[in-house]
Amino acid sequence: MFVFSYPSANAFKLISGCSMLESLTLDVRVRQEDEEDYVFNIPTLKRLKLTSFKCGSWTHKVFLHVPNLEYLCVESLCSLFVMEDVSSLVEASVSLRHMPNIHPWVELLKGLNGVKSLLVECLSSLIDFYSVTSSPPVFPNMKHLVLHDIGHFGQVLQFLESSPELEQLCIDVNPYQQKPEEYGWVEPELVPACMTTNLTTINFSISERWKCDIAFLKYMMGNAQVLKTLTVTWKKSSMEKEKFCAEDVKLLPMASRYCEIQFHEK
């Protein structure tokens, strides 16, 4: 559903008339300064995607009372989330594009801590706001994590430390990141629990080769004791770079005896 403005005056009236609604996509292009809060009280809803551009003030809230919701996607939504009931939520996708304030992001993550699968996009936009030493909330059930457009490898570590049951990790490095050495890999003193017990798959996508990439992979492969597959994907065509990276990776220490290394070109 596409709404230019004032969804509370039109879209929500239509939504309230759908007694068996299971899937909803709401795209609000302009939100007015005096727009009311968005209240989703839909017992039957299973999938919800929310998008908003050109937002007004930060006093706007989204209330979710959706006990059967299984999937939530949030894209560029300038709102504070109040998770009244998302007890069935399994999978979530969050984009930080056009999100200039860190507070809604932190609050949203707290409400998603029960998911098993999480995709976070545009983490590089949080370099100026998100401290390398701070951490997301604990995700006790998370098995699958996708981090797109990361700003520094410290952000990856934050999620690893917060996800003790993590099995699959997908990382996409920001190809336009400036001065990557400033946000390079600093090896932590402790190894996250998931790396010694559950982490079996790592997918690593890269456009340019940086020294911090190899340092990060060295740490991961040297500590991931049950790792079965490492996949390195080049997003730009360059056989010379791919060969160079392949030679580097093959020289890295491996904590797991059963790890297979794959190289792809996208």
Query: pLDDT for 233-243, tens place per residue?
Result: 877 655 555 56
Residue 212 has pLDDT above 80, yes or no: no
SS (H, E, C) 115-128: CCEEEEECHHHHCC
7-21, 109-123, 201-215: which is most confident: 109-123
**Residues in the chain, how many?**
266
Confidence of residue 52 (pLDDT cuts 50, 70, 90): confident
Across 218-230, b (16+ Cβ under 10 Å) vs e yields bbbbbbbbbbeeb
Q: 102-111, 120-129, 159-168, 217-226 — which is least confidently predicted?
A: 120-129
Of the chain, the percentage scoring pLDDT greater than 70 comes to 70
Identity of the amino acid at 195: M
Among 148, 260, 120, 130, CA closest to 204: 148
Residue 29 has pLDDT above 60, yes or no: yes
| Contacts (Cβ under 8 Å, ≥6 apart) of 111 | 64, 81, 82, 83, 86
> pTM score, two decimals?
0.86
- Cα–Cα distance, 240 to 260 (Å, whole number): 22
SS3 call for 221: helix
